[in-house]
Amino acid sequence: MPRVLDGRLTPGQLQALRLAANGLTAGQIARRLGTTETGIHLRLNTAARALGARSRAHLVAVAMTQGLITPADIEPPHGHQSAPQAAPAPRVHPAPETASRGRTAPRTGPEATTPKETAA
């Protein structure tokens, strides 16, 4: 009988789960672990039952929330960076000179007065 980790998963189930969390198919996991695809399905289905998961995605989520796998166990997809990029600086656009429909926007402040208003 396989040794059970954390009271629920065997080392083989946990190994298959970590690879599944990285997006590998059952066939890819089987080749990597030197076993059969049917064996991987069995490991993952048994792990899902043990954790009460309803799908492979749910199995990964439950395993992460229970600390059985961590973000460090998951590699970023090829071509993607693991750290989030800083947001680009917002672009500053000059204020428009005219309002909609071609009308000139009203001026405000001391420069808003016309020469006639200052002479009075």
SS3 content of the chain, % helix, strand, coil (to 5): 50, 5, 50
Quickly state the pLDDT bin for 115 (edges 50, 70, 90). low
Q: Which domains does the chain have, with CATH numbers?
A: 11-70 (1.10.10.10)
What does pTM read for this prediction?
A: 0.60
CB atoms within 10 A of CB 97: 7
Q: Could you give the percent of the chain with pLDDT greater than 70?
A: 60
